[in-house]
């Protein structure tokens, strides 16, 4: 198991920020940072990530040859972990994990390149485990493992299973590349068959999702493929 060196904090601004700092200082691949709460947890594009005590806020340092598919790999690890806790979850491209349409977890990969090659990638994973309520702005969008199962979950046990799943998937990723992870995520894609609005920097495109491509893009009926998006929402 490469994830054996775990740095634990009662409180951090952001586990991703801390892990990036450690990685910059030469921390080994597999270094893990966990905080009970984050004061400045973030998602993509500087969006705030609500991180009270009760959730799992974790970042891992990886030093892979490439970054493609790593976010989806981490999402797959979260879905498999939730399955071990008897919760059926799906992946909402590009980086959310959802249960019955509500966001239970999010993934944020941040990388540092040296020239053409990857020096390190920090994969941050936030899972709503034992929260029972959410702030108003996300109340209708978010859920937690506790709310879904009606039972409190052993946070440390959840972390152990997640690190185990990540370890297995990452070994496979290193050995064979991202294709198998992407294929597995495509089978778990919440958006497939749905009419969505894909918001990009160039504007918003509506269409029905055909599925994920072999390289992890979101493909609409009609063939348009997105490799990144500001936001994807259901369209009616
Ligand atoms: C994400 O961003 O979904 C990636 C979140 C990654 C968080 C982890 S926690 C450990 C590590 N350290 C960090 O600082 N970050 C990582 P994005 O797709 O941009 O979604 C952000 C949006 O999700 C927000 O604008 C809210 O609408 C919503 N949101 C915020 N907190 C949430 C929560 N706890 N549960 C569900 N949705 C939330």
The model scores a pTM over 0.75: yes
Q: Which residues of the chain have pLDDT under 70?
A: none
* Cα 128 versus chain centre, distance: 12
CA of 132 to the centre of ligand 1 (A): 17
DSSP 113: E
Query: Comparing C-alpha atoms, which of 92, 102, 108 is closest to residue 42?
Result: 108
What would the pLDDT profile of 136-158 be if each residue is shown by its tens digit? 999 999 999 999 999 999 999 99
Q: What is the pLDDT of residues 3-13, one digit of tens each?
A: 999 999 999 99
Rg (CA), the chain: 17
Nearest CA to ligand 1 atom 37: 142
Strands 6-12 and 90-92, how do they pair?
Answer: unpaired
With beta carbons less than 8 A apart as the criterion, state whether 130 and 144 touch: yes
User: What span, in angstroms and rounded, lies between the C-alpha atoms of 70 and 64?
Assistant: 9
pLDDT at position 236 is 81
Q: Which of 22, 49, 142, 232 to mutate to test ligand 1, by most ligand atoms within 8 A of the CB atom?
A: 49
SS (H, E, C) 43-97: CHHHCECCCCECEEEEEEEECCCCCCCHHHHHHHHHHHHHHHCCCCCEEECCCEE
CB within 6 Å of ligand 1 — which residues? 14-16, 38, 41-44, 47, 49-51, 57-59, 95-96, 103, 106-108, 124-126, 128, 138, 141-142
């Amino acid at each position: 198991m490469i994830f054996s060196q775990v740095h634990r904090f009662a409180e951090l601004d952001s586990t991703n920020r801390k892990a990036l700092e450690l990685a910059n200082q030469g921390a080994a691949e597999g270094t893990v940072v966990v905080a009970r709460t984050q004061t400045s947890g973030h998602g993509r594009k500087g969006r705030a990530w609500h991180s009270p005590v009760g959730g799992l806020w974790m970042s891992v340092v990886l030093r892979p040859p490439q970054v493609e598919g790593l976010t989806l790999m981490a999402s797959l690890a979260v879905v498999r972990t939730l399955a071990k806790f008897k919760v059926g979850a799906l992946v909402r491209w590009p980086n959310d994990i959802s249960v019955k349409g509500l966001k239970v977890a999010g993934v944020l990969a941040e990388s540092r390149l040296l020239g053409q090659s990857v020096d390190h990638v920090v994969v941050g994973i936030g899972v709503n485990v034992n929260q029972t309520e959410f702030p108003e702005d996300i109340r209708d969008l978010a859920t937690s493992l506790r709310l879904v199962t009606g039972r409190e979950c052993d946070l440390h046990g959840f972390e152990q299973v997640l690190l185990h799943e990540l370890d297995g998937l990452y070994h496979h990723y290193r050995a064979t590349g991202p294709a198998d992870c992407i294929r597995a995520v495509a089978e778990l894609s919440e958006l497939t068959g749905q009419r969505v609005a894909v918001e990009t920097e160039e504007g918003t495109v509506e269409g029905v999702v055909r599925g994920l491509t072999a390289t992890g893009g979101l493909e609409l009926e009609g063939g348009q493929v997105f490799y990144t998006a500001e936001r994807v929402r259901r369209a009616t």
